[in-house]
Structure 1
Amino acid sequence: MNAGKMKGMLEGSAAQDRMLLVLAAIGFLFILRFVYLLVLWFYSYFLRPAKNLQRYGEWGLVTGATDGIGRAMAIQLARKGINVVLVGRSASKLEDVTKEITSKSRAEVRSVIVDFMDDDLNAGLAKIAQSTSDIQIGILVNNVGISYPYARFMHEVDAGLEKSLLRLNCEVTTKMIHLYLPSMLKSKRGAIINVGSGAVGILPSYPLYAVYAGAKGYVEQLSRSLYVEYKHSGIDVQCQIPLYVATKMSKTRPSFTSPAADYYAKLAIACIGYEPVITPYWVQSVMWFIITLIPEPIMDSILLSNNLNIRRRGQAKENAAKKE
C-alpha cells in the first residue's frame, strides 16, 4: 500500500471518528436534556411547595364561582386564608357557595350578581368595581366561560352562541384584567389566573368546536404575553389548562384522567405564581406529552371522528326534545 492511500485511509478514519464523536455528543445532550426535563417535571408536580397566597393580598375574586372549577377554586382560596368575592348570575347558587365557604373557613365572602351575557356588559363591570371599591383584589381568577352545547360545524353556530363564546371567553376575561391590573401595578403585587382549555393548549386542533378553541387560544396567548409584560412588576399571570374535569360543562364523571373539581382546584391553587402556562393535574400533563408524540394528521382524524359522534348524539337528543 503506497503512502497516498494510507494517508487517505487515515484521514477518512479520522473524519468518521469525528462524526461519531459529534453524534455521541448530540445524543448525550439529548439524554441530558430529557433527564433534566423529567426531574423538573417531577419536582414541579410532587415536590415544589405552593406559594403563600397572602403575598398577593387579602382578597381574591373568582368569576363563574357558582359551579365547577370556579366554585372549587373559591373554596380553596378561602381555605388558604384569602377572603373571596364571588361573581355569578344566580343569587341562590351564590348564597349556597357563600354558606359553604363560611362554614368551613374564617374567610370573609362577598358576592356580586352579574350576568355577563347582559347586553350592557359595562354596567355589570361597573357593579363589580363598585362592590370591590373598598378592598384590594390581589388574586383574580378568570374562570367564567362557555363551550358548545354539543359539537357542530362552524356554519351551524348561530349568532347567539357565537356572541356568548366570544364574550364570555374573550371579552369578559380581558375587561376583568383591565379592571384590576392598575391597582395591582400600584401595589406591586397580584396574581391573574386565566382558565384555558386543552382544546388549544394540548390538542393540535379541535374540529367542530372551532370558535370555542379559537377563543381559548386567545386566552392562552393573552396570558403568555401578559406574563412577560408584568413578571418584573410583582404580578404573576398564568393560564391554567385542564383537560376534562368532572363538571356540569364537561358532562363527565370523576375518574383517573378526569379529576373531580375539588381535587383539581387544590392542584390548581398550588400552581399559582409559577409557569405562565401549566396543566395542574399531573396525569393530564403526561397525557399532554403523549399527545405531542402522535402525528398531527392522525390526531386530527381521531378528534374529528370523536366529535362527529358527539354531534350525532347531540342532534338526536335535540330532535327528540323537539318532538316531546
Structure 2
Amino acid sequence: MTGPALAAWFFHLLVFVGGVSAAAFSFRVLAYLALCLRRPRDLRRRYGAWAVVTGPTSGIGRSVALELARRGLNLVLLDLDAANLQETSDAITSRHTVETRTVVFDLSLVGTPQGDESMRRLRAAIEGLDVGVLVNNAGVAKPAVAYLHEAEVEAWVRMIRVNLWALTEVTAAVLPGMVERGRGAVVNMGSASSEAIPSFPLNTIYAATKRYVSKFSRSLYVEYRSKGIDVQCQAPFFVATRLVPSAVLDNWLSPLVPTPETYARAAARWIGHGPLCTPTAGHQLLWCLAGVLPDAAHDWLRMREHLRLRALLSQRARAARASAADRGEKTTRAKKMSF
C-alpha cells in the first residue's frame, strides 16, 4: 500500500471511529431525554406498596426515602442508629401520608451473631408486606485516599462487610417475597469509580466493592427479569453528601455535582430502566467524557488528583489539630488567671 493510500485509509478509519462515537453519544443523549420527558412510572402500582431502604438517615439514602414516600410508597428503614432512624421516620410521615417501620441494623456486623439477629428482625418486619422496591444504599467510603498498608485490616473488612456482604444478605432476604408475588425492583447503589473509569487509586477497596455491586446486579438482572423483577445498579459520580470531601466540591466538577435531592428525583425515575445507569444529566456527560480518554491517562490523572486531595486533607487535619491545641492552651491560661 502506497503512502497516499495508507493516509487515506487511516483518515477513513478515523472518520468511522468518530462517527461511531458521535452516534453512541447521540443515542445516550436521546435515550436520556426520552426518559426525562416520559411520564414517571407509578412505582407503587407496578411493584408494590412498600419499599425497603438501607442507610436512609442522611445523604442519598434520606433523599431517596423521601422521594419514594412522595411517590406513595410505605417504607421500611434500616440503619444502625435508633435515634436517627426515628428522626428520619418522623420527617417522612410529617410530609407524606405513608407508613414507616424501622429496623436498627449495624450492617458491619453481618456474618456475626449480632448480624444474624438483625437479619431475623428484618425478616419479621417485612413479613406479610407487599415489598415492591429494595434500595441498597448503605455504604462505607472510609478509609479514603489511603494506601492499602496504611489502614487497619479491620477497617477494610468493615467496608467489605457493609458494601458487599450486607447488600447481598439484605437482597437475599427480600427477594423471595418478590418472586412469590411476581414483581419487584432491586436498586443497588454502585459507583462510577468502578464503571466509568479503569482505576480508582488510594480508594482501591471501595472501588472493588462497588465493582462487585455492578456484577452482582447485572447477573441478578438476567436471572430475575423473567420473574417480573427489575434489578439495577446505579453508578453515580460525586453527589454533594458528607462522604464527598469539600475539596472535590470546590473544583471545576462542582457544577456537575448534584444535591442528594436532585439525584433522588432522577434515581426514582430510572428505576426499572436497564441493569446499569447513572441517572443525572451531569453524570451522563461525565461518563461520555470519561470514555474519550485512554486508560493510561485516566490512571495518571486519578493518581495525581487523589495525591493532591490526600495532601490537602492532611493539611486541613493538621490545621484543625493546631487550632484545637491553641484553644486548649487559651482555656488553660484563662483558668489559671481566674484563681
- The TM-score normalised by the length of structure 1 is 0.86
Q: Distance in 2 between matches of 1:28 and 1:284?
A: 22
RMSD of aligned residue pairs (Cα, Å): 2.7
Correspondence list, 1:112-261, <5 A = 112-118=103-109, 119=112, 120-252=114-246, 255-261=254-260
Q: What residue is the counterpart of 1:286 in the other structure?
A: 285
Q: Distance in 1 between matches of 2:229 and 2:140?
A: 27
SS class of match (2:101): strand
Q: Distance in 2 between matches of 1:230 and 1:258?
A: 33
Q: 1:51 aligns with which of 41, 47, 71?
A: 41
SS class of match (1:84): strand
CA contact (8 A) 2:188 2:232 kept: yes
Q: Deviations over 1:245-269 (max 9, x none)?
A: 1111113459521111111101100
CA contact (8 A) 1:237 1:273 kept: yes
Q: What residue is the counterpart of 1:262 in the other structure?
A: 261
Q: What residue is the counterpart of 2:332 in the other structure?
A: none
Q: Distance in 2 between matches of 1:27 and 1:242?
A: 27
TM-aligned CA deviation for residue 129 of structure 1: 1.1
Q: Deviations over 1:183-231 (max 9, x none)?
A: 1111000000000111112222100111111000000111111111111
CA contact (8 A) 1:50 1:272 kept: no
Q: 2:95 aligns with which of 76, 83, 104?
A: 104
TM-aligned CA deviation for residue 51 of structure 1: 1.6
SS class of match (2:211): helix
Q: Judge which range, 59-68 or 87-96, deviates more.
A: 87-96
Amino acid at match of 2:233: C
1:72 and 2:63 correspond = yes
Q: Judge which range, 77-86 or 249-258, deviates more.
A: 249-258
TM-aligned CA deviation for residue 175 of structure 1: 0.5
Amino acid at match of 2:235: I
Q: Distance in 1 between matches of 2:24 and 2:288?
A: 15
Q: 1:106 to 1:273 in 2, by over 3 A?
A: same
Q: Judge which range, 128-137 or 313-322, deviates more.
A: 313-322
Amino acid at match of 2:224: Y
SS class of match (1:138): strand
Q: Distance in 2 between matches of 1:35 and 1:194?
A: 27
Amino acid at match of 1:153: Y
Q: Distance in 2 between matches of 1:270 and 1:319?
A: 43
Q: What residue is the counterpart of 1:81 in the other structure?
A: 72
Q: Gaps (5+ residues) in structure 2?
A: 1-8, 326-339
Amino acid at match of 2:43: L
> How many residues get paired?
306
TM-aligned CA deviation for residue 40 of structure 1: 2.5
TM-aligned CA deviation for residue 320 of structure 1: 6.1
Q: Gaps (5+ residues) in structure 1?
A: 1-18
TM-aligned CA deviation for residue 164 of structure 1: 1.2
Q: Distance in 2 between matches of 1:210 and 1:29?
A: 35
CA contact (8 A) 1:49 1:270 kept: no
Give the number of the structure whose alpha-carbon radius of gyration is greater.
Answer: 1
SS class of match (2:107): coil
Taking only the aligned residue pairs, the percentage that are identical comes to 33
TM-aligned CA deviation for residue 41 of structure 1: 3.5
Q: Distance in 1 between matches of 2:204 and 2:47?
A: 36
